[in-house]
Amino acid sequence: MQAITENTSKYFKAPREKVIFYRCAVVYIFALYIMPQYFGIPNPIFDLTAVRIMIIVLLGLIVCDYGRFRSFNSLFLKEKAAIALLPYLFVLAYTMFFRADINAFLNPFIEILEMFLMVYVIKDSLGTDKVIKMVTAFIYALVILGIIEFFIKVSPFSFMVNLEGVYTGVFIRGGHYRVMSNCVHSLGYGLLLTTAMPFSGYDVKNGEYNILRRPLLLIGIIVNIFMTGSRSTLGIMFFELFLMFVISEKKYLKNNTLILTACVVSFALFTFLAQKTSIGNYILLQLTSVIDSIFDTKLAENFGSSSTSMSSSTAYRHYLYNIFSVSWLNPIVGIGRKRSFHAMVNGVLIRSVDNFYIAEYIRYAYPGMIAYIFFLLFMLGSMLRDIFITKSSLIKALFVGAFCYVMHLTVVDSLQTLKYLYVLFAIYICCDKEKKLPEVEETSLYRGKRKSKYARK
């Protein structure tokens, strides 16, 4: 999809208002993707993070222009994604009312608003291609900063802290520093990287997908995932790599198979030779931890992991499902966001809920959890349908990132990273969805029959 501003004649300069809006849109996406939640203007009622400031700026520009205001409002009336969100918004509203908790509505609503603002600026000013290039550049920056962070043992973004109670500090597990980048937790950075990985293979110019389109970026993302120290992210990464290989164009299959096989063999050989070094031990620790989590083995003990902590972590995640049977939780009205969940469940103290969907049940009860799962299934189902209709490589890439992120939420909470999922949804909503017609035979008096390429409807 091409941006509206690209259709203007080269002999006429865009009005000043369009230029201002365009620049604010660029800053908004930069703030959305790069700026940490703990940077902004402190406020006793409502902290103004960098993203919230840009939301206010963009909404101000939209409200002050009648045409923009009508166009933005029409998004909520015409987009099916907005209709799919109505049940969830209704639950947010009555939870806010019954629990006297404005944040129960405001926090998720702002995240939803971020998605629709993203949709608007893509359609009005930037276009999908430019946004994809911007996001890819931001991922490059985060990957480089992640490697720097690993060596300096503190996030470069931590020097920007000016909002109290958001930055969670340094994370170390088993003596190893865990990279967290611009997120509030290393697990959050893992979620970010899950949505970022498919961008490494999409070719904007040719509209093709190839897992090895940007090998340095792909390697950088993989390295950063290892440095997060997150077993769940690492497990999701391998599955995501497989999906990225599958959706790559068939003409790259032979070349990709040879290169990836050589890379896997080289990686295995390097790890074997370096197993006595700190880096080799760390790699083996991460890999065996994933295997232990899946097959309930104890291989990671050979590389310094505590079997007790591993088993307790796995058991803890399974035990979380007992929260559904807690009698004092109202199944219709959740506790909202004003109160944190910290209670004894069947004799076990639950301090944190490492499962987004169970956390949604606590916050918004069954109606909220079901309504949000319905929205996610609607978006993923729409993507899957359009993949078969359009054969679009872009939609395939967006689906892989979104699907793996949604799967990842079964073992971690969202940790303020839903906006990265919404970036994928926004690009999907705005991208080209023209149907491809099947191949048809064309006859010629001079050349006989031949097959034409896919046509556009």
Tens digits of residue pLDDT in 79-122: 999 999 999 999 999 999 999 999 999 999 999 999 999 999 99
Structural domain tally of the chain?
A: 1
Instruction: State the pLDDT at residue 456.
Output: 44
Instruction: State the pLDDT at residue 1.
Output: 46
Written as one letter, the residue type at 395 is I
> Residue 300 falls within a domain, yes or no?
no
How far apart are alpha carbons 352 and 143 in whole angstroms? Answer: 28
Spell out, as residue ranges, where the chain has pLDDT lower than 50.
1-13, 445, 450-457
How far apart are alpha carbons 204 and 199 in whole angstroms? Answer: 10
Instruction: State the pLDDT at residue 296.
Output: 73
> Residue 206 falls within a domain, yes or no?
yes
> Residue 355 falls within a domain, yes or no?
yes
How many other C-beta atoms can be found within 10 angstroms of the C-beta atom of residue 53? 16
How many other C-beta atoms can be found within 10 angstroms of the C-beta atom of residue 318? 8
Closest residue by Cα to residue 294 from 271, 278, 317: 317
- 255 contacts 216 by C-beta, under 8 angstroms: no
> Residue 292 falls within a domain, yes or no?
no
Q: Which residues, in sequence order, are bridge partners of residue 449? A: 443
Supply the DSSP string of 143-194, one letter for each residue. Answer: HHHHHHHHHHTS-GGGGG--STTT-----EETTEE---TTSSSHHHHHHHHH
Cα-only R_g, the chain = 24
> Residue 280 falls within a domain, yes or no?
no
Task: Report the DSSP pairing between strands 348-350 and 441-444.
Answer: unpaired
Domain housing 218: 4-273+306-456
> Residue 267 falls within a domain, yes or no?
yes
**Angle formed at CA 20 by CA 136 and CA 30, multiple of 5 degrees:** 25
Burial of 268 (0-12, 13-18, 19+ CB in 10 A): exposed
> Residue 289 falls within a domain, yes or no?
no
> Residue 281 falls within a domain, yes or no?
no
Helices (H), 274-355: 278-295, 307-319
Instruction: State the pLDDT at residue 454.
Output: 42
